[in-house]
Structures are given as structure tokens and as C-alpha cells.
Structure 1
């Protein structure tokens, strides 16, 4: 009778050990720990969406455009950020059309 050598398994990698260990808990992918301004903008965007429905991104874009051309940069930034929260692509288009210098845009 021949004897075959079988190397010992690593106990940490055995199927039983894997089944009995708890999985590693990882934070959620969208948990970026940015509180404060982000929460304020999200709340404002949701309020705007509640008021205007599916037309909310277009309305925010129009308000941002009006604020930019009236010279109110603070209101422009506010409405652009609300538009960005609702429709990122639309906000990028607006920012590139109105103010092509990327250093002036927060997007």
C-alpha cells in the first residue's frame, strides 16, 4: 500500500472557519461623512422638488441663470447647487455655458 502525503490545511482558511466567522462590517458606499452644508443643500433641493416636481431642475437652472445675469453671484451659486443636487448633467451644462472658467464653478 502506498502512502500519500497531504499537507495540513490552514485552519483560518478552512470552509468551516469561513462559515463561522462574522463578515467584516464596512461603511456604506455613500457615507462620506460630509454633514452641515451638504445636508442643508439636500434639504433645500428636496423642498424645491416637493414644490415644483419633475420641473424642479429646470426651474432651479432658470433661477441660477437669472441670478447670474443680474449679478447676484451668491444666489447663482445657491441655485446652481440646488440644480446640481437634482440634475448634475444640467448643472454642468449651465455652468459651462455661463461661466466657462472651471475655477469659478463649484461643480
Structure 2
């Protein structure tokens, strides 16, 4: 969910403009730059963990998981995926990675790559 700030208008300019440093650039920075994404995809192994069916169910599970664990939910889902992988439960691993992906895409991708590199 995007949160937008709208400053109160004080005459012709917003009140916040008087307090901002004019020499500092105010441009937003996108940390998901396209070139970084392209480089990461190029390094991916040929075999990728299959997506889990039923995205609506995964979203519901991810929201419930977030409700139980709060901001640590993605890390907990990653831990569950690693535990399932260690136990040989590939369906469980895929499900937990899908839940982690709903909460933190980068964490899920790095977990997925590390688990695939362990398989060989």
C-alpha cells in the first residue's frame, strides 16, 4: 500500500517548502532498478521452484501468517521453507516460499536460490 504525503498549503506554496533544504535533491530513489533485476534473472539457475497453485489461498495464508508474526513473518516463512526443505518436504517448501514471496520478494528469491544451489 502506497502512503502519500500531502503538505498543507500556506498561501501559494506548501508550508513544508519553507523548512526544506533547497540544495538537497528531493527525487525518490527506486531500489528495484530494472538493470539490477535483469542481472539477477540472468544468474538464475535453469531449474526454478514451481509456483504454488491457488494464489488467492496463498495470499490469505500470507496475511494470516503476517497477523501472527508481524514484521518478522517473512523471516519466519523463510525459516519454515528451509526446515521443510531439510525434511525433504518439497510441497511444503514451495508453499512457504510462496508465502514468503507475498511478504518479501527479495528474501524469497534469495532463499529459493540458496536452496536450489544446495540441491546441486
When the two structures are superposed, what TM-score results if normalisation uses the length of structure 1? 0.59
Q: Which has the higher contact order (CA 8 A, sep 6+)?
A: 2
Structure 2 unpaired stretches of 5+: 1-52
TM-score (norm 2): 0.53
Could you say what secondary structure the match of 1:71 adopts?
coil
Deviation per residue, 1:52-97 (Å, 9 max, x gap):
0000000000000000011000100110100000000000000111
Which one of 66, 82, 96 corresponds to residue 65 of structure 1? 82
2:107 is matched with which residue?
90
The CA distance in 1 between the partners of 2:114 and 2:65, in whole Å, is 23
User: Where does the alignment leave 5 or more consecutive residues of structure 1 unmatched?
Assistant: 1-35, 102-107
What CA RMSD, in Å, does the superposition of the two structures yield over aligned residues?
1.5
Indicate the structure (1 or 2) with the bigger Cα radius of gyration: 1
Q: How many residues align?
A: 66
